[in-house]
Amino acid sequence: RPGRAEFLVSDNGPGIPEAERGKVFQRFYRVEASRSQRPGNGLGLSLVQAVVALHAGDITLEDNAPGLCVRLGLPR
């Protein structure tokens, strides 16, 4: 879009199920109990979303088949 910078980050890992994509922006939320054995607090994406919102941007999560694609847009 004109006047916006867009960044895409993608991987080919297990991804995030569509039903849980909105939840991962909540503080302390972690996807699937089977992944909970990995260290972490579930704060990463909630912090990213807060910084992006502070700069009037937006962030969306999409399927990368396989994996996840994170689309981040910021005003220029």
Confidence (pLDDT) at 56: 97
Max CA distance (Å), the chain: 43
**pTM here?**
0.79
Query: When comparing pLDDT for 32 and 53, which is higher?
Result: 53
Confidence (pLDDT) at 1: 63
- Residue 33 — very low, low, confident or very high, per pLDDT cuts 50/70/90? low
Given a contact cutoff of 8 angstroms between Cβ atoms, the answer to whether 16 and 24 are in contact is yes
Q: DSSP string spanning 24-36? A: GGSTT--S-GGGT
pLDDT tens column, 4-30: 999 999 999 888 889 889 888 888 878
Between CA 68 and CA 13 the distance in angstroms is 7
